[in-house]
């Protein structure tokens, strides 16, 4: 089983997040860097993979990525996620 930790809370912009996802998830070079491409790559995973996702509940892009992961889990039995909500405002 692959275990991956994603610290989305460290990034705020769309491009930053997609570049980080591509690297951490080892997506192919043709990864399109958008939510549809993310869903496609997640549903193509064929090895059991658990992903621990830290996200800032105040960040719209991070919540959108989390929603795509949740949708992919519903259709791909090789994918599991753990969600860890982080509120940056409370950390300051």
Does the reported pTM lie above 0.75? yes
Residue 24's domain spans which residues? Answer: 2-91
CA of 64: how far to CAs of 46, 53, 92, in Å? 23, 12, 24
Helix, strand, coil percentages for the chain (3-state, nearest 5): 50, 25, 30
Tell me the per-residue pLDDT of 38-89, one tens digit each, with 9 for 90 and over: 999 999 999 999 999 999 999 999 999 999 999 999 999 999 999 999 987 6
Q: How far apart, in Å, are the Cα atoms of 57 and each of 49, 61, 67?
A: 23, 10, 12
Number of domains in the chain: 1
Residue 26, domain CATH: 3.30.370.10
Helical segments of 1-92, H only: 14-25, 35-43, 60-75, 88-91
């Amino acid at each position: 089983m692959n275990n991956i930790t994603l610290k989305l809370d460290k990034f705020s912009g769309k491009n930053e997040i997609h570049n980080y996802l591509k690297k951490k998830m080892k997506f192919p070079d043709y990864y399109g860097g958008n939510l549809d491409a993310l869903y496609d790559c997640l549903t193509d995973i064929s090895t059991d993979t658990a992903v621990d996702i830290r996200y800032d509940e105040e960040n719209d892009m991070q919540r959108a990525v989390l929603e795509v992961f949740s949708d992919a889990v519903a259709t791909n039995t090789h994918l599991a996620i753990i969600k860890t909500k982080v509120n940056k405002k409370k950390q300051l």
